[in-house]
Structures are given as structure tokens and as C-alpha cells.
Structure 1
């Protein structure tokens, strides 16, 4: 390890332990699994034991490193820089009582552009994936956070502003339409007339964008999927702030309720709490900003889900190819179960689209 990085690591561990009388043992490192998509990104848990003010105490923190732009893809590197800027900005010092970002114990930007963050090792209290109770609590806290930041200037140079295109994927529309219009027998057998609804949704994406752009905006996390949501002591802690920036009210709740690629809660759990989660978000938001109407917030949630048309096309393509289905972070889930979950989630997508375009 580079001496600068090693010294910064030592400083981060010391900052986390604090105390006037600390005797620390050796630092151990455990590499954590990370999505293969993130080449040139490393995630490790640093851990050990220390005597803090005479008391033996196990400790751990997360070290998140992104290689410099000469190695990491521009998309990944931009995300790493944005998260660094977010932690250095002081924005997370201004959050409502029950919503937090992890504590940061040190940051480093090296001469070659490599980025390292040393952040709190957040431990979720409860089951994974999130259960219904955790989803409802997180929905209310997301609403409170988005309401708390409502009206805050949204022109920070480091904010992410391309969230609509990231989910709407305009570059994939023609290919998506071709997939749906082939009407493969396996897709027709599962979707029937709903294939026409998928096609209409793709063709209506400019209308969906128009709805989103017309609604009130706030500052959003933009990746508040269940894998990034932790419940601790009746509060919500959100990790991975790489996409933070302006977004439509309700957009963060759409991420929580509609994140098929991360293997989050079963669609049956999501559908059982969907309306209650929207209401919890509305209540949390309007406790902060009563001037934004429930109808606007509900429309923001539905339109942000309707933006994610690509899920339906991917499911249709999977039925056509016959390839085993898989949801990202549930490797032990059977392909048959994964396929059924994704098909049911297409129903959630089309219901939100119908309300958006009505």
C-alpha cells in the first residue's frame, strides 16, 4: 500500500476509535464481494480490537477505493468523485433526525486520481431483504429527508443530473420496441395483451419525462434500493451516495419499491405495502413541506417507476432466449422463482404507467 494511503488509513482508524487512552492491536482487512460491474473498485472491511479508555472494544469500518481515471471507467469514476464531494460538502450534517448517511472517518484523493473513503460499517437491525415493516419505516424517512431538502439550491457542480436518462435509456428504445414487436410465443403466453401495454409505455416515454419535469423537485439519493437501506435504532441509514442530485419528489421511493436488479424484497411484499409506503412517504414529506400535494407526490412515484420500461423488455427478451433468470443479489434464488418475481414486477410497472398516463 502507498505510504500516503497507509498513513491516511491509520488516521481514519484513529478518528473512528477516538478516546483519550487508546491501545490498538493490528488492523485486519477482509475483502468484501462487490458487483463485477465495478471493475477498479475495491471494498474492504477493516477490523480489529482496541483498548479504549481501559475497555476492550472490537471495531470495524469500511474502506471504499476507486482507481483513478486512467483505469476506472468514466461512469464509475464520476460516481466515486461525486460521493467524495458529497461527504466533503457538509450536506450530511443537515439531515432530519431519523435519516442519516454513514459517518465518514477519512477521505483521500491521490495524485493519480484514486479515491479512498473510510466510512462507518453500518449493521442492519433485522432481516435481509427488507421486510414490510422496514420498508414502511424507510419510506417515511425517505419522505422526511426529501422534504427536509426541498427548496435547497440544486445547482451544485458535483450533483448528478442525468437520472431520467439513466433510467429511461433513450438509446435503447428502438431495440426495445423491436424485441416487444417480435411477439415471441413464450412472451405472448406469459403477457398476452399486456405486450401491447409495454409497447405503449415505451412509445410514451416523452410523456413520462414531461410529467417528471413538471413536478416539484428536491435533492434525492437516486439509488435508495433495499440493498442501500439500513435500519438502525429506529432510524434509516443510506449508503452509496454516488448518484445524489436533484430529482422529482417521490423518485427515491420509486427506487425503494422498484429495484429488480438488486434482488431486494419479494414483489409480493412490495405489492402488499405499496399504497401504505406511498402514504408513509407522503406523510414524512408533508411534515416538512405541506405545500406539496399528496397527488403530486403520488404522481412522482408512479412516473419514476414508469420510467423504468427496460425491465419489461428485459423480461420479454429472457422469455424469448430461454436463458435462466436471476435477480442480482439473490444468487441462491432459483431461476424459476426469479422469473416469476420479475414477471410480477412488470405488473407493478404497468400499473404505475397506467396511472401516470391516464
Structure 2
């Protein structure tokens, strides 16, 4: 990754490129550097038109799942640092609107252990704070107005329509799944037992119904991208990064993503899966504080997890033998197929339990 533009970071100032999704057309780069002598992270955001795969293209539509200015607005409004008390984004240092149309978002550097070094107890603490944050948005009448589409009136225009309209549905259905899906590809047959392939196929064929079922869950304000790469465990508690997808969504979705996405890219040992499932779901439900009945909340985690990753297996099969299309997962094709099997088996169990 090249250095940031010299008008933002002079050549004699260190700038370390940070791992991020380079496929996303919105993100022009992320660097650890400094601003006015203070450690900082610089995130360069690009308007639509930056080269990217179609399913990662940025949008000018404020309600689109990948609206390019959403994170800027989340920090300018204070939402990124106040949405979930105890689980906030880093402080914003500055926002620079640049002549070329890009925006430089300067954030205080979050110091501590990276999220991938967290143990089940750490992830459980994140889940508990998520639950408490989600409960807050369920309880506050003004907050409910925002997530049901009356935000401009409820907040006097402070938070206009830049919240993602329907992130779960829009993102999920935008994934480039091939048709027909090669369910009987020899690599899949070798890596995944027949019952798993049959179940994954049935789940994909029911995708619209599964997503529609999440519409009947209580609605809250979701981050939509809670996973270890967006977490830092600092001395004062966990810090939640990347507020580019924030918007209304079903209860349980962020907790489900925290479980599943912890293991999908081989960054955390999958042997911890069962412990993480138990800890995260229990702590999340506890964090909701009874605002949602325990059985409903636990089912919501399972259902939203199934809905959010309904596309994963068919997309993986469509990419067999071709470019991996991965940013974070550095394993070879066989290792990815094998390493994700346990997560996909969990996904199938969740779907069966939630849709029964």
C-alpha cells in the first residue's frame, strides 16, 4: 500500500499501512501515523468511482449499505462515540474535505491488544456491552424513532438519512453468488459431508424467506461489522472501530457476526468456537437486561447469523479454482474449505433451530 498523500502526511513523517479490506471502493487507505505530534490513524475515504469489484462499489445514496460518507457522518454527529456506552469508537481528531473529493478522517489511535488476541472472555465482554447498547436503543423513544425512519423529526435533523436503510438485506443480497451454484464440485464433496452440502443448499434456496424472518425481530441500532479486526482491547475497555455500516437492524445481528466472523478468516483458532458461542450468546442476552425475552434474544442471534451468511457457502463454491477474493484470509483453498466447515455446520444448526 503506498503512503498517504503528502499534503496529509509529509514524507518525513512515518506512516504504516494497516490491514483493511482493499476491495472496498470507499476505502482509499488506512495508516497509523501522527497528527500534530499525536499518534493517530488516518482513514482516506473515496467517493464512488474508485476502482473496485461491483459488489464493493461505494454509493452516493445515503441509505445504501456502502454509502461512502457514512463513517464521516457517524463521527461528526457523535454517534460513533456515543451509540453504545462502554463500547465506543476512538475519538475523532479532524475531518479534512480534500479538493479531489476524498475525505481524510483522522482518529485517535486506539492502543491495546488487537481483537484477534482476545479470548472468549474478552469477546463475551464485548457482547455484554453490545447487548446493553442495543437495549438502550430499544428503550429510548427518540432512539426508536430514528431506527424506524423518523430520525430527522426525533433529533431535529441531527442524524439525517445517512444511517444504512436495510443493511442486512442489501449487503447479503449484493454478494456475487454464481448461478448455478456448483454444489457437487469435487473440492466441496471432499471437504464437506453430504448432509452439510444439502443443508447449505436448502438454506440458500430459502434465503429470501430467512431474511424476511429477521424483519419480525425487534429493531435496534446495529454496527453491522463487529468482529476482531474492528476491536482493540484497551486498558479502559474495548474500542469498536469502523462505523461505516451503522444503521437499524434486528436484535442479535451484531452478536451473531461477532461469533461467526471471529473464525471465518483463520485469524482465531476454530477450536475456541464452542466456547465463544456459549460465552457471546449468554453475555449478549444478559446485556439486553430482560428488554427482550431470553428465548427470543437467543433465537435472534441464530436467525440473524443464518441470514447474514446465507451467501457464504455458495460464493465459496463459485470461487473454487479461481482468485480467492480474500483480504484477510491467507490460507490456501483446501485450508479455507476445511477451516470453515465447523463454522458452516454451526450456521446450519442455527438455521434449523431458528426456523423450526
**How high is the TM-score relative to the length of structure 2?**
0.79
Which residue number corresponds to residue 21 of structure 2? Answer: 35
- Once the 2 structures are TM-superposed, how far is the Cα of residue 252 of structure 1 from its aligned partner? 0.5
Pair 1:66–1:188, CA change in 2 (3 A): same
Which residue number corresponds to residue 168 of structure 1? Answer: 172
- Once the 2 structures are TM-superposed, how far is the Cα of residue 345 of structure 1 from its aligned partner? 1.3
Q: Distance in 1 between matches of 2:250 and 2:93?
A: 31
Q: Distance in 2 between matches of 1:344 and 1:131?
A: 19
SS at match of 2:288: helix
Which residue number corresponds to residue 104 of structure 2? Answer: 116
SS at match of 1:75: coil
- Once the 2 structures are TM-superposed, how far is the Cα of residue 228 of structure 1 from its aligned partner? 0.4
Q: 1:138 aligns with which of 126, 138, 149?
A: 126
The alignment status of 1:254 with 2:241, answered yes or no, reads: no
Which protein has greater RCO, CA pairs closer than 8 Å, 6+ apart?
A: 2
- Once the 2 structures are TM-superposed, how far is the Cα of residue 95 of structure 1 from its aligned partner? 4.2
Q: Unpaired segments of 5 or more residues in structure 1? A: 11-25, 51-58
- Once the 2 structures are TM-superposed, how far is the Cα of residue 45 of structure 1 from its aligned partner? 1.8
Which region of structure 1 is more displaced relative to structure 2, 334-343 or 239-248?
334-343
**Higher fraction of helix:** 1
Q: Distance in 1 between matches of 2:236 and 2:282?
A: 19
- Once the 2 structures are TM-superposed, how far is the Cα of residue 242 of structure 1 from its aligned partner? 0.4
**How high is the TM-score relative to the length of structure 1?**
0.79
Which residue number corresponds to residue 224 of structure 2? Answer: 222
SS at match of 1:118: strand
Q: Distance in 2 between matches of 1:343 and 1:93?
A: 36
- Once the 2 structures are TM-superposed, how far is the Cα of residue 169 of structure 1 from its aligned partner? 2.0
SS at match of 1:149: helix
Q: Distance in 2 between matches of 1:93 and 1:311?
A: 31
Which residue number corresponds to residue 300 of structure 1? Answer: 300
- Once the 2 structures are TM-superposed, how far is the Cα of residue 179 of structure 1 from its aligned partner? 2.0
Pair 1:110–1:351, CA change in 2 (3 A): same
Q: Unpaired segments of 5 or more residues in structure 2? A: 61-65, 150-159
The alignment status of 1:83 with 2:71, answered yes or no, reads: yes
Q: 2:338 aligns with which of 321, 337, 340?
A: 340
Which protein has the larger Cα radius of gyration, Structure 1 or Structure 2? 1
- After superposition, the C-alpha distances for 1:223-265 in whole angstroms (9 at most, x for unaligned) are 0111101211252211110000000001111111112554442
How many residues of Structure 1 are paired with residues of Structure 2 in the alignment? 323
* Kept after mapping to 2: 8 A contact 1:266/1:341: no
Q: Distance in 2 between matches of 1:82 and 1:49?
A: 26
Which residue number corresponds to residue 329 of structure 1? Answer: 328
Which residue number corresponds to residue 347 of structure 2? Answer: 349
Which region of structure 1 is more displaced relative to structure 2, 210-219 or 35-44?
35-44
- Once the 2 structures are TM-superposed, how far is the Cα of residue 126 of structure 1 from its aligned partner? 6.1
- Once the 2 structures are TM-superposed, how far is the Cα of residue 328 of structure 1 from its aligned partner? 4.1
